Amino acid sequence: MEIEALGKKWEINGIDYAPRRKLHAIHAQCYSNAAMNKSNEIDWPKYYDAIEMALNNAFDDPESATEGLTDVEIDTLGQVILNKYFTIEKKANGGAG
């Protein structure tokens, strides 16, 4: 699977159903307080857990894959990966995945 981030193309691992659902659950928790309290409150530790989980799934060795990047760049890359993982493409037969 390929993504574009930080001015280059990255080859990342795909994500299967169970890890995608777990990642979605953690990511949703980032915004649960905001939704319940009608606020802009984000659970930042959960957000960074989701970024870390996405990076760990995307790369066999995330530390090597992100070598030379700043923390902000790593977070940006992680967010692009999250967006790719959560974007389900429809197959020609109408199925998803």
Q: How far is CA 94 from CA 17, 60, 83, 88, in A?
A: 17, 31, 21, 12
The C-alpha angle 27, 61, 72, rounded to 5 degrees, equals: 55
Dump pLDDT digits (tens) for 46-72: 999 999 999 999 999 999 999 999 999
Encode pLDDT of 18-27 as tens digits. Answer: 999 999 999 9
Q: What is the pTM of this model?
A: 0.82
Q: Is 28 a domain residue?
A: yes
Q: Is position 9 within any domain?
A: no
Which band of pLDDT confidence, cut at 50, 70 and 90, is reported for residue 35? low
Residue 74 lies in a domain: yes
pLDDT at 75: 97
| Number of domains comprising the chain | 1
The domain in which residue 73 lies consists of 17-86
pLDDT-based confidence at residue 95 (cuts at 50, 70, 90): very low
The yes-or-no verdict on residue 42 having pLDDT over 80 is yes
